[in-house]
Amino acid sequence: MAHGTVTLKFYDAEGRGRELSPGRARAVMHGNGGSDSDALLDARNLQVLQGYPLYASGSHLRFDLPGRPAAFAVNWPTSQGFSTVVLDDGGQGFRTGATVVFNHQAARDADRRLRDALARRPDHVKSEVFTKAYRTARSELARADHATTDADRGKHGQRALNALDSAYGQMLQEYGPRYAKAHTKQPWTGLTVADSAAHKEWAPLAKRLTAPHGWVRIVFDPDVDHDSSIPRRYREAVEAAHAAGLKVLGQPVDSTYASGHGHPGLGTRKGYLARIKRYVDAFPGIEAWEVGNEVNGCWTDSRTDADGNCTGKLLPADDRMRNKVADAAAYVRATRPRSQVVLTLYWQLGTTDPQWSVFNWARANLPARVRADIDTVLLSTWLEDAPMGLAFDQVMNQLGAEFPGQRTGLGELGYWNQDTSKFYWAFDKDDPAEGRRQVAARYYAAALGYRFGVGGTFWWYFAQEMPRDKRLRAAVREVTDRL
């Protein structure tokens, strides 16, 4: 049993050693307008035990242990941008009450995880960039460990955390393609086509960026379906992709419409399966089918408002995503046994109620019989809504452990455009275009570095953003070249 209260002392994210009031600490956690993201976790499997445990008492934020060991997670920035930062007190979770300098403890736990990650990768060739960042991290952490004041522990702890984020990410970016080239059969390098872009333009570009392991994810938008027939543009898109040597991941129902938003029929179990059947039957040559998109988003199982946001009023039990996924996966498995069955979860932990967090939802809604019909599990990752950053390796390892019978990877990816929240920044606070390029470079590469991984990483706004951004294209092609 674990009881007691943990008091957290937060110091500024710039590493100046200035202690933050509870209000100011929360403001930092919220980024550019995000909500609370604090959560207590099971340190062994990242299951959320309690959402939003922090409360102000006196001049500090505190949380009470829930009768069992618990790790603490929250969104917090480093010089690399926002991360999900996990404090697990040496790996087991907090077991007793204590007063903790957040920045220092975050750095100590991140350093331990990086050392463990390096031990699991004895073949990693350390670059000069990695070595410099890690040397800085170890030096700053030593200063924090030997500091005589909490202010200095906070200052040097944050500086160590900055350098650890840089070193850890650099290692993953360097290691992923090298590992996949040596160990992975048929890795995936993906792009998404989700609008009316002309296939004569995007298909050749997709080939140039992703060959010879290229995939294109074609989103079959119900707003385009004006009757029961398959639109000609979709038949031409699939043909163009195959002619370019690309494999196709077909997505009949985007999460936006899964609860019936704009298309009431899709909100029912019967209607959802009917649409899956219509597209699977029409395209026998498609290599993979996404039977559920962002399935743990609350908007997929709830009535939504005019903007597509969940209202909290759940759909009838029979129409929930767990049943829709089970039906769709079973149908594809039986009808197209040579096609991959793909399920996409939405990366979120702490930014929503526990029931919608990735691993909580999966354990509650994906029984063994359904998992048996699924080949590949992907994470849809939108960093401006739910940062990952320092937690990337931890999350991807846990995804593999959660689905040991499946291959895993990243699903759709994008960063800061007209349709996104822009709550949390990554890599470059002042230049979203540069941040976008670095997100692509980091995540396309890092996703490849796992025994159970496929890579994936289907950039959502490929047709809109990549044709006009040479450096964004280069970020993807560089990863492909290393394969």
Nearest CA among 217, 281, 218, 292 for reference residue 257: 292
pLDDT (tens, 9 = 90+) of the chain, 483 residues, equals: 778 999 999 999 999 999 999 999 999 999 999 999 999 999 999 999 999 999 999 999 999 999 999 999 999 999 999 999 999 999 999 999 999 999 999 999 999 999 999 999 999 999 999 999 999 999 999 999 999 999 999 999 999 999 999 999 999 999 999 999 999 889 999 999 987 678 889 999 999 999 999 999 999 999 998 778 899 999 999 999 999 999 999 999 999 999 999 999 999 999 999 999 999 999 999 999 999 999 999 999 999 888 888 888 999 999 999 999 999 999 999 999 999 999 999 999 999 999 999 999 999 999 999 999 999 999 999 999 999 999 999 999 999 999 999 999 999 999 998 889 999 999 999 999 999 999 999 999 999 999 999 999 999 999 999 999 999 999 999 999 999
Largest CA distance in the chain: 72
* Model pLDDT, residue 196: 67
Tell me if 311 sits within 8 A of 302, measured CB to CB: yes
Cα(340)–Cα(287) distance, integer angstroms = 6
Is the distance from CB of 70 to CB of 5 less than 8 angstroms? no
Residue 2 confidence (pLDDT)? 76
With tokens 């991140």, the residue in question is 110
Task: Tell me which amino acid residue 297 is.
Answer: G
Amino acid at 370: V
Q: What is the pTM (predicted TM-score) of this model?
A: 0.97
| pLDDT, tens digit, 9 for 90 and up, residues 50-99 | 999 999 999 999 999 999 999 999 999 999 999 999 999 999 999 999 99
Q: Which residues, other chains included, contact 290 with Cβ-Cβ below 8 Å and sequence gap of 6+?
A: 217, 249, 250, 251, 252, 342, 343, 344, 411
Neighbours of 128 (CB within 10 A): 7
| Whole-number Cα distances in Å, 328 to 194, 262, 270, 371, 470 | 21, 21, 10, 12, 39
DSSP structure string for 310-364: EEEEEPPGGGSHHHHHHHHHHHHHHH-TTSEEEEEEE--SSSS-GGGSHHHHHHH
Tally: H helices and E strands in the chain: 15, 18
